[in-house]
């Protein structure tokens, strides 16, 4: 007798055994959307069906043939036009995967900002959030994976806060000034976050470096570069390498944040005025020949 859809479901351990793909790697495929979500959850237990089994076998074969997983996943979607089995999807009303994930990022971000990456443990994160070890590894491969997700979230939140004031400015120089004010206004948090990013950019792990670079570019380098290029196009800013200039301005923000943290000799207004004047006019007198 043929089994019903409900009887065909399996736990992740069974799925791993049938496909020869580790549970950790299956969780990674889920996070990257290479594999569709479980057909339903009971409590905190995920269940999978034949469609997951077939898709994982396909991805495994593609991986062995050096086909990028993102491309292989797209091929599968087009080939099967798959949609997760909605008919047997049973999610309790009080269950919210996104809520749990948001809480992990929120609490872990606070710990990373307070203690740094090295001094923060997974055990502390689990205790702060109130989740078990299996639950943690359902969402993230390891501490490093979570850490980079937190940095992305921190900078995205900062960018959203700064965006309102920046959007009101129509001139390139006005936008640059608003970006500086936004960063300087949150100097301690920005400084800590940038230094956490620098820590990742210095790592030997290529994936970590690339993700850190992507976060830095999305939050800082690319928006600054676009503002500078608008200024160059309008003739307000001379023709310079806009990307290198963006990195320079970010470094200046980092450096001057240290100046204010060391003591209160110089207030925020004077720091802003000095940096803004330096950016606009450089160090030389107007008619100086050196």
The CATH class that applies to domain 97-140 reads: mainly alpha
Beta-bridged to residue 40, according to DSSP, are 47
Query: Is the torsion defined by CA of 122, 143, 221, 245 positive or negative?
Result: positive
Statement: the pTM of the whole predicted model exceeds 0.85: no
Architecture field, domain 144-281: Orthogonal Bundle (1.10)
Write out the residue limits of the CATH 1.10.357.10 domain(s) in the chain.
144-281
The whole-number pLDDT of residue 85 equals 40
Give the residues of the chain that fall short of pLDDT 50.
1-7, 82-96
Q: How many CB atoms lie within 10 A of CB 271?
A: 17
CA 54 to chain centre: 30
As annotated, the residues of the chain forming the CATH 1.10.1660.10 domain(s) are 5-88
CA 118 to CA 42: how far, in whole Å? 35
Number of H helices and number of E strands within the chain? Answer: 14, 2
Angle at 44 between CA 39 and CA 49, to 5 degrees: 20
Q: 94-107, pLDDT tens digit by residue?
A: 334 556 788 888 89
30: tokens are 């889920």
pLDDT at 53: 92
Where in the chain are all domains bearing CATH 1.10.10.60?
97-140
CATH number of 5-88: 1.10.1660.10
């Amino acid at each position: 007798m043929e089994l019903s859809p409900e009887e065909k479901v399996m736990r992740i351990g069974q799925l791993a055994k049938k496909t020869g793909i580790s549970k950790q790697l299956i969780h990674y495929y889920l996070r990257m959307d290479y594999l569709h979500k479980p057909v339903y959850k009971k409590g905190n237990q995920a269940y999978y069906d034949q469609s997951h089994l077939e898709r994982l076998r396909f991805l495994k074969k593609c991986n062995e043939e050096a086909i990028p997983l993102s491309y292989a996943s797209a091929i599968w979607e087009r080939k099967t036009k798959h949609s997760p089995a909605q008919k047997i999807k049973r999610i309790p009303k009080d269950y919210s995967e996104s809520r749990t994930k948001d809480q992990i990022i929120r609490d872990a971000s606070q710990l990373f900002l307070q203690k740094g990456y090295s001094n923060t443990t997974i055990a502390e994160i689990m205790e702060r959030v109130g989740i078990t070890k299996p639950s943690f590894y359902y969402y993230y491969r390891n501490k490093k994976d979570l850490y980079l997700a937190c940095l992305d979230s921190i900078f995205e939140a900062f960018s959203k806060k700064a965006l309102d004031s920046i959007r009101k400015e129509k001139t390139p120089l006005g936008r640059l000034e608003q970006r500086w004010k936004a960063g300087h206004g949150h100097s301690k948090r920005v400084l800590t976050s940038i230094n956490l990013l620098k820590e990742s950019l210095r790592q030997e792990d290529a994936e970590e470096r690339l993700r850190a670079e992507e976060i830095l570019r999305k939050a800082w380098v690319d928006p600054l570069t676009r503002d500078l290029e608008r200024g160059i196009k309008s003739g307000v800013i001379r023709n310079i390498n806009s990307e290198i200039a963006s990195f320079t301005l970010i470094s200046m923000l980092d450096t001057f944040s240290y100046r204010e943290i060391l003591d209160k000799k110089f207030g925020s207004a004077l720091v802003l005025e000095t940096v803004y004047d330096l950016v606009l006019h450089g160090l030389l007198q107007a008619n100086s020949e050196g």
